[in-house]
């Protein structure tokens, strides 16, 4: 179910679409259930958000009006026409794991229940529905906190809003729920009582941990979920051979790939489709987004790798360096205080402090021009490069120079305030030797 509003999050964006470590809340939920091979997967959306799920491998059902969780599930009935198996109902629960869902399904099928709900017992009380049991311990109903008595609010076993229903029992019960409650909504939780009243068996499977079943209703809960997922992601990398010096100060998106023997220093953020190869050292205080870091590369501190950056083996992007859509060749160095955007730096070259590529497009709508710095080039401090411009292999650039014209190979260029190019200067020096 992804049709709910973000009222308690105070957001115009559906809570299911808020980002969590490189994925949306809804993506985490779908990724948790996908290993169970459900067929079909039906996602219930509001009319305003339905288009946001079109790229997902799901069928989208639209809940025309926000009339409650029971109505949301009923909105999926047409997409499940003729389906007679078990219906797994999930909501805004990004911390779910395939293992927990598999255990829930196993319990449901072993007990041959009409409905099995996932309950949990947190250390502190939550504003969730309470599980009502009879004297024998059998589940009789779920009472939402707003509708609960003071005595019922003392119950510590809470409803996670995750269920497995036999399809026939679910549709029969949904036809009998009404909105006689504090919120004037159609509660899915009321279906439990109707199933029991009709002679069906309702059971609760209690989660082994109280964290995984928790949902997202506020931005504070969103941040808490992010911290849990960060811990899981970092733990997986460390067990795979990555050194993360301070896991609590390191944020790595779920889609980032890191090879063994990489060292990640504190306050590093790796986002998107970033990859880091064996032997690289990243941080501290590094942000990398959709970038590729090669073997034995050194990055940071205070380095920003923007989308499209490639650091080839043995290269370096040092302190206060920003790279965007730039390739730094094998063994090349951009040690400090430079911005290179839409640029290529060849193997073995060194860009001294204060190197800047001026890559702004010359005409509205035109692509940004590129700067190409060849192999074994040495630039001076405070160099600017007006793209498009190409610096030939083996050339040197004098400090304080703003390069506006191509520099042929093995040349010495610069001498502010105007550029002077001594073509072949370095070749001639070598010949004299």
Query: Which residues are known catalytic residues?
Result: 336
With tokens 């059971």, the residue in question is 203
What is the widest separation between alpha-carbon atoms in the chain? 102
Tokens linked to 392: 């030939």
Q: How many CB atoms lie within 10 A of CB 37?
A: 7
CB neighbour list of residue 39: distance below 8 Å, 6 or more residues apart: none
| Tokens (6 digits) for 384 | 């600017």
d(CA 365, CA 232): 43
Question: What is the C-alpha separation between 128 and 108, in angstroms, rounded?
Answer: 22
Q: Would you give the DSSP letter of residue 295?
A: T
Query: Do residues 393 and 375 touch, judged by C-beta distance below 8 A?
Result: yes
Query: For residue 364, with 0-12 CB atoms within 10 Å meaning exposed, 13-18 middle and 19 or more buried, which class applies?
Result: exposed
DSSP 8-state class, residue 55: T
Dist. CA 53–CA 270, nearest whole Å: 25
3-state SS assignment for residue 199: coil
Contacts for 208 with CB less than 8 Å, ≥ 6 apart: 100, 103
**Cα(first)–Cα(last) distance of the chain, in Å?**
77
Which single residue is written with the structure tokens 């499940």? 80
User: For 67, what's the count of Cα atoms within 13 Å in the CB-facing half-sphere?
Assistant: 16
Partner residues linked to 101 by β-bridges: none
Q: Read out DSSP for 239-275?
A: HTT-EES-GGGEEE-TT-EE-TT-EE-SSEEEETT-E
Q: Which two tokens stand for residue 161?
A: 């809003």
CB within 8 Å of 396: residues ≥ 6 apart: 377, 378, 379, 380, 411, 412, 413, 426
Cβ atoms of 303 and 318 closer than 8 Å: yes
Cβ atoms of 289 and 274 closer than 8 Å: yes
The residue among 410, 413, 411 whose CA lies nearest residue 386 is 413
């Amino acid at each position: 179910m992804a049709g709910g509003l973000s009222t308690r999050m105070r957001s115009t964006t559906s809570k299911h679409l808020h980002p969590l470590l490189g994925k949306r809340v809804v993506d985490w939920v779908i990724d948790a259930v996908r290993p169970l091979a459900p067929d079909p997967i039906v996602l219930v959306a509001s009319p305003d958000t339905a288009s946001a799920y079109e790229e997902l491998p799901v069928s989208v059902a639209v809940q025309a009006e926000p009339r409650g969780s029971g109505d949301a599930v009923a909105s999926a009935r047409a997409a499940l026409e003729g389906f007679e198996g078990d219906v797994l109902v999930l909501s805004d629960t990004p911390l779910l794991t395939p293992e927990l869902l598999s255990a829930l399904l196993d319990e449901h099928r072993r007990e041959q229940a009409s409905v099995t709900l996932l309950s949990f017992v947190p250390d502190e009380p939550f504003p969730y529905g309470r599980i009502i049991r009879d004297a024998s311990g059998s589940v009789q109903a779920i009472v939402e906190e707003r509708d609960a008595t003071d005595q019922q609010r003392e119950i510590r076993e809470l409803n996670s809003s995750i269920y497995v229903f036999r399809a026939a029992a679910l549709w029969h019960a949904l036809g009998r729920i009404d909105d006689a409650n504090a919120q004037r909504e159609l509660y899915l939780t009321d279906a439990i009582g109707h199933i029991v009243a009709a002679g069906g068996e309702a059971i609760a499977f209690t989660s082994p941990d109280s964290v995984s079943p928790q949902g997202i209703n506020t931005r504070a809960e969103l941040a808490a979920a992010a911290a849990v997922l960060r811990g899981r992601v970092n733990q997986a990398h460390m067990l795979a051979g990555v050194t993360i010096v301070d896991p609590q100060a390191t944020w790595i998106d779920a889609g980032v790939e890191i090879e063994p023997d990489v060292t990640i220093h504190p306050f590093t953020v790796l986002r998107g489709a970033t990859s880091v190869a064996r032997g690289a050292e990243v941080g501290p205080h590094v942000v990398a987004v959709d970038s590729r870091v090669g073997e034995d590369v050194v990055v940071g501190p205070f380095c920003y790798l923007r989308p499209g950056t490639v650091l080839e083996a043995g290269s370096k992007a040092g302190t206060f360096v920003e790279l965007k859509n730039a390739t730094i060749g094998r063994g090349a160095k951009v040690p400090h205080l430079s911005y290179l955007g839409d640029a290529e730096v060849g193997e073995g070259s060194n860009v001294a402090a204060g190197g800047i590529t001026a890559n702004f497009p010359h005409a509205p709508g035109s692509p940004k021009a590129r700067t190409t710095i060849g192999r074994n080039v040495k630039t001076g401090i405070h160099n600017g490069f007006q793209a498009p411009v190409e610096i030939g292999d083996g050339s040197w650039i004098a400090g304080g120079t703003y390069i506006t014209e191509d520099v042929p190979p093995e040349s010495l260029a610069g001498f502010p305030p105007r550029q002077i190019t001594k073509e072949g200067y370095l070749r001639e020096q070598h010949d004299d030797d």
